[in-house]
Amino acid sequence: MGIGVLRKYRDYLPVTEDTPLLSLGEGDTPLVRSNRLGPELGCEDLYFKLEGCNPTGSFKDRGMVVAMAKALEQGSVAVMCASTGNTSASAAAYSAYCNLPAFVLIPKGEVALGKLAQAMAYGARILMVDGNFDVALKLVRIFTEKHAITLVNSVNPHRLEGQKTAAFEVVDVLGDAPDYLFIPVGNAGNITAYWRGFREYYQAGCCNALPKMMGFQAEGAAPIVRGAPVAHPQTIASAIRIGNPASWKSAVEARDSSGGVIDMVSDDEILEAYRLLASREGIFGEPASAASLAGLLKHHRQGLDLRGKRVVCVITGSGLKDPDLAVSSVAAHTIEVKPTLEAVEEVTLSLVS
């Protein structure tokens, strides 16, 4: 039974006697050992952390449950966030669960259909902004400073507190930290949260080592790699289409103190990883999620020796969120047949030989 991150990791979270221990069953997501890609890369110990298995299909639920519990504890009347889609889906779900209205600002025309459908279904008030994510986040920050509505983007410290529980789970399952953690980077909150989680567990004596943090931005939205904000970020991975990450500094800190890298991958590399993940591993992640595997493939090609290393790729969200892309980017394998046994036999038997 999913007891949720607030109960499971309450000793590591800002939980007081007055914090409601909410849960939609977030956390406790599978860490799946690679069956095909790992061995092909010479890495017998490659794992995928399936964050798409959270209640709203992304890792955002881990932090949202904490942010929402604290908002309730503090007597908030409503929450607000800007989002490329997943944060808004998560905020909308927990808002419905807690009966606390949610206002979500999303860049018009830039959010994957499944995520928009979620925010609508959960009943959030959706404000379509004629501008990108960075513009929407700026508006939300200014608005929530001026009005008594709780900001639930990852600049709210409770969000990252919840998200760090994913690092705890990796260690709980593996028995120690991995050598490398590959992760997509957008607003840079998640890489910050994982690093905090590993460090806290290390300090508590729950692991004996720390991973190298390997973060990946999309080439057209790679401000940290380029060292300057990107005014008009572009990438097929709409979740990480972000030009001025809020947690920029702490992501760089995670990179440097772990001895890792923050690098970029092209849309082609993201799509290649997206297809491989589904067709070789049976894992359907959304395109932004595939940036972690794309980064691993890129560094392997560049000579990173993975033999004897334990590697975790975080698959941050479900592929079901962006069905349009799946249908348009994967070579169609549908075959029309007449509704007869002979027709089905003819096609099938010619393909199994």
Q: Could you say whether residue 66 binds ligand F0G (CB under 6 A)?
A: no
CB of 213 vs ligand F0G, minimal distance in Å: 12
Spatial neighbors of 142 by CB under 8 A, at least 6 apart, are none
Per-residue x/- mask for ligand F0G, residues 135 to 154, rule CB under 6 A? -------------------x
29 burial type by CB count under 10 A (0-12 exposed, 13-18 middle, 19+ buried) = buried
CB of 116 vs ligand F0G, minimal distance in Å: 12
Chain position carrying tokens 């998200």: 163
231 burial type by CB count under 10 A (0-12 exposed, 13-18 middle, 19+ buried) = exposed
Per-residue x/- mask for ligand F0G, residues 93 to 132, rule CB under 6 A? ----------------------------------------
- Cβ proximity to ligand F0G: between 92 and 239 the closer is 239
CB of 154 vs ligand F0G, minimal distance in Å: 6
Residue type, 108: K
CB of 237 vs ligand F0G, minimal distance in Å: 8
Number of residues counted as binding ligand F0G (CB under 6 A): 22
- Cβ proximity to ligand F0G: between 9 and 216 the closer is 216
Q: Could you say whether residue 210 binds ligand F0G (CB under 6 A)?
A: no
Chain position carrying tokens 């892309």: 325
Which residues within the stretch 301-340 sit at the binding site for ligand F0G (CB under 6 A)?
316-317
- Cβ proximity to ligand F0G: between 114 and 317 the closer is 317
- Cβ proximity to ligand F0G: between 19 and 160 the closer is 160
In the sheet with 102-107, reading across from the earlier edge strand, the strands are 125-129, 102-107, 79-82, 150-151
Residue selected from 288, 293, 311, 312 as contacting ligand F0G according to rule CB under 6 A: 288
Q: Could you say whether residue 58 binds ligand F0G (CB under 6 A)?
A: yes
Per-residue x/- mask for ligand F0G, residues 239 to 278, rule CB under 6 A? xx--------------------------------------
- Cβ proximity to ligand F0G: between 19 and 290 the closer is 290
- Cβ proximity to ligand F0G: between 19 and 187 the closer is 187
Q: Could you say whether residue 165 binds ligand F0G (CB under 6 A)?
A: no
- Cβ proximity to ligand F0G: between 85 and 260 the closer is 85
Which residues within the stretch 180-199 sit at the binding site for ligand F0G (CB under 6 A)?
184-190
Residue selected from 85, 107, 223, 319 as contacting ligand F0G according to rule CB under 6 A: 85
Stretch that binds ligand F0G, among 2-10, 23-31, 84-92, 165-173 (CB under 6 A): 84-92
How far apart CA 121 and CA 294 sit, in angstroms, is 32
Residues of this chain that bind ligand F0G (CB under 6 A):
58, 60, 83-87, 154, 184-190, 239-240, 286, 288-289, 316-317
